[in-house]
Structure 1
Amino acid sequence: MESENCKKETQDNEETIGEIVTKDYRKAQVFKRYGIDFCCGGKKTIKEACENKGIDEAELTKVLKSIPSDANTSENDYMKWDIGFLTDYIINIHHQYVKENTSFIRELANKVAKVHGEEHPEVVEVAKLFNQVGEDLMLHLSKEEKVLFPFIKELAFVQREGGQLPKSAFGNVSNPIHIMESEHELAGGLLHTIREITNDFAIPVNACNSYTILYKKLDEYENDLHKHVHLENNILFPKALLAEKELQTAVK
């Protein structure tokens, strides 16, 4: 029994942050509390993440284990979803969120920077950084929706119905995936910088309604992007890579 426990402990330690969150999305909140990136940094193990952040690994592990493992959450179903369906879900929920909110937040950030920039110079930097985030993400979504996601949906169709492995101008699906992951990391890094310079979106005592709404929307926007990127980096992309590999093997 003791050796089995040791074996399980070793396996748990070797799991990546992304794999842990994929199994139980509730644990994402724990990683967020400790400032650990579970989406773009999802390929690190707990040990690696703790070493990078100077966090007590035993303490973090204890907190993660305190979450009941027998509770079923809807997030656990994502791994069971067909990759074509998951692709549509990401577009309809998370891409749509970005499209609906980016312009509004950008306008709000520019307005707050203009009105409050002299007294709170950090909001000028916030506006500059978010303008970059918005521009990058809108281009990013376009590339996913026009290039990568249609190919993934073709893979899903062939998996279900049979037929020829789809051809692409970009070679293996790993090529655009690597680019998308790099762009995720860039956007996530910019939003993290915004969180840092605003002291976790701490609202000043004299903040007007626009200032308050801006910080609340930025917090919401970053949280949505974390889940968005988690679904792509840790679930959709690995499943797409596996699907392509299986179809390539079947052809040989």
Structure 2
Amino acid sequence: MFLNQLDINPASKAREIVELDYRTAVVFDDYGIRYCCGIQRPLGEVCADQNVNIDQLIAALNKAIRPINISNQTAFEKWPVEFLIDYIVNIHHHYLNETLPVLAEGLSAFTKEHKDRFPAINELNRVFNKFAAANPAHLIQEEENIFPYLRQVAHAYEDEDTSSFAPLMIKTLRKPLASFMEQDHQVLQDSILQFRQLTNNYTPLTGICPSHKVLLAKLRELDNDMTQHFYLENDILIPKVLRMEQELLQRNN
């Protein structure tokens, strides 16, 4: 269900397309075309019946499955602090803000319909709701408190301006960051681990419907995004700024 090469044409069927790449599900939802259960007809027929422009639909589906990859050779550690923060906010924070409400709604609807058949889905829904509820405050804390402070330290370091760093010394960078990493991040990381356990690493059950496969694929996508998000902050950004802070402190001695 992920990154397969698809030849989408009027003879293709919605369910088969979604089975091959879960990212097409949102396009079918937008156009009001069913892909989950029931008799599947060729897209050409469905579009004619529902007054949907087949060329526009196919274009939207192809856009949804276009490959977007980041090279493993990307040297994040060499990026300037400003650029790294902007990347985290515009890529990872934006992804969470856009994805979590939609995924929460889909998971809640699926839980109501299939909780008897899939008992673990109740616990998965509970854990996900806790995860989604914790994220807004976490992102606000980063964007309004942590990141502005990191930018200040980086500016002082790059300008070699010890006087601009002096007022920053009123605060202790290590203390809020330690709390930020150990508490906020740990709660989110624990939720990701529970997602994996409750879904057997996002493995679909035999004979499961496409809508459940789509949910599992989206959870896996969230897992992948959060893994890189944590890596950029915990292993690259925060240690980099702490080293800058230490050097600035030494300059003021």
TM-score, normalised relative to structure 1: 0.67
CA spacing shift, 1:106–1:84, aligned 2, 3 Å: same
Q: Aligned partner of 1:209: which letter?
A: P
Matching of residue 88 in structure 1 with residue 90 in structure 2? no
Q: Within 5 Å, give how 1:1-252 maps onto structure 2.
A: 73-75=72-74, 77-163=75-161, 164-165=164-165, 167=167, 171-182=171-182, 183-252=184-253
The amino acid across from 2:234 in the alignment is: N
Give 5+ residue unaligned stretches, structure 1: 1-71
The CA deviation at 1:73 is 4.3
Shift of 1:228: 0.4
Q: Is the 8 A contact 1:110 1:127 kept in 2?
A: yes
Q: Distance in 2 between matches of 1:184 and 1:136?
A: 10
Deviations 1:13-66 (A, max 9, x none): xxxxxxxxxxxxxxxxxxxxxxxxxxxxxxxxxxxxxxxxxxxxxxxxxxxxxx
Residues 116, 73 of structure 1: CA spacing in aligned structure 2 closer, same or farther, 3 A cutoff?
closer
Structure 2: tracts of 5 or more residues without a match: 1-70
Question: When the two structures are aligned, how many residues end up with a matched partner?
Answer: 180
Cα distance in structure 2, aligned partners of 1:226 and 1:166: 35
SS at match of 1:74: coil
Larger Rg: 2
- Give distance in 2, aligned partners of 1:250 and 1:192: 42
User: C-alpha distance in 1, partners of 2:242/2:179?
Assistant: 14
One-letter amino acid matched to 1:145:
E
The letter of the residue matching 1:179 is S
How many Å separate the matches in 1 of 2:199 and 2:235?
Answer: 29
Q: Residue in 1 aligned with 2:60?
A: none
Aligned to 1:67: none
Letter in 2 for 1:186: V
* Identity score, percent: 29
- RMSD of aligned Cα (Å): 1.8
- Cα 1:123–1:169 change in 2 (3 A) is farther
Q: Which moved more, 1:145-154 or 1:78-87?
A: 78-87
